[in-house]
A = this chain, B = another copy of it.
Amino acid sequence: MKIINKIDDCREEAGALIKKGVSIGLVPTMGYLHEGHMSLIRLAKKECERVIVSIFVNPSQFGPNEDFKKYPRDSRRDEKLSEEGGVDYIFRPAAEEMYRDRHSTYVEIEGLSKIMCGRFRPGHFRGVATIVLKLFNIITAQKAFFGRKDYQQLVIIKKMVSDLNIDMEIIGCPTIREKDGLAISSRNRYLDNEERHNAGIIYESLKIVGSGIVSENSDLDKLRRKAIKNLRGSKYIKRIDYFDIRDAETLEEIRDKGSKDILVATAVWIGNTRLIDNIVIEKGKQRQIDI
């Protein structure tokens, strides 16, 4: 496994592979790798001949009062897990390498960036889209792998790739969960023991809506209210930023379930930790919850 810090070196390595006709899978991460990332790496290894994991805690996607500084970092551990996972290259640039003096170009995805998490994290998806586009330009992979836990991010990146005619396949991978259903996330480590013990309620609440839809309950608003009531019943849920039921493709709010894939997504605060999660209920006669 090779660790690369410089953009030019990374471009050169990737370019040499492409010239030889070797396919590249890119797994963009902010490091502090966990089982969610490892599942992306496994899929990338299955689908591509070489796997590049990028590790970059991207300052431009954090708001001024967000957790950029305290975001967990552990480069030794990241290296070890990547090596064990069969990663071929880690691309881990410094902040000054990615954002030069006077960086002023940003990618905006209108509409999709303003709803859901975008309402509470202004500028977040602009930062995400910009860094992802930069990575795509440096590492011209055939496929890039993203977790469905960050569902809105996945939709936005797919939209950017389509709108800007980027020649790359974006693959969304299932959310990996703890035994109690909590979606695995680097931010889970912010939770204290008691908070962690009670965090399963997020997934539980999503499933209230999911099960309702699967069992042919058509009143989405009623299901939503039931789920929110369940969350509010826990003293550990300090705030609910949103709890939305949307078209899983366009992210438009829906009032009835129709014949589309349905996204149920939420962002809640447990203590001082903001966590997001979602489930998708697939269309079709036998609706299935895809977790």
Contact = CB atoms under 8 A, between A and B. Distances in A.
Contact of A105 (B104, B109, B140): B109
Interface in A195-253: none
B100 A109 contact: no
Contact of A166 (B112, B129, B137, B160): B137
Interface in A67-118: 100, 103-112
A163 B110 contact: no
A14 to B, nearest CB: 10
A106 B104 contact: no
Interface in A150-200: 159-160, 162-167
A275 interface: no
A139 to B, nearest CB: 10
A11 interface: yes
Contacts of A165: 7, 11, 134, 137-138
Contacts of A109: 104-105
A117 to B, nearest CB: 17
A133 interface: yes
Nearest to A10: B165
Given A104-B159, A137-B164, A137-B167, 8 more contacts: A7-B165, A11-B167, A104-B111, A104-B112, A105-B110, A105-B163, A105-B164, A107-B107
Given A164-B137, A165-B138, A167-B137, A106 B108 contact: yes
A133 B108 CA distance: 13
A32 to B, nearest CB: 24
A107 B104 contact: no
A7 B164 CA distance: 11
Given A11-B167, A165-B7, A167-B11, A105 B159 contact: yes
14 contacts: A7-B165, A100-B162, A104-B111, A105-B107, A105-B108, A105-B109, A105-B110, A105-B160, A106-B107, A106-B108, A106-B110, A134-B165, A137-B164, A140-B167
Contacts of A110: 104-106
A268 B133 CA distance: 37
A162 B159 CA distance: 23
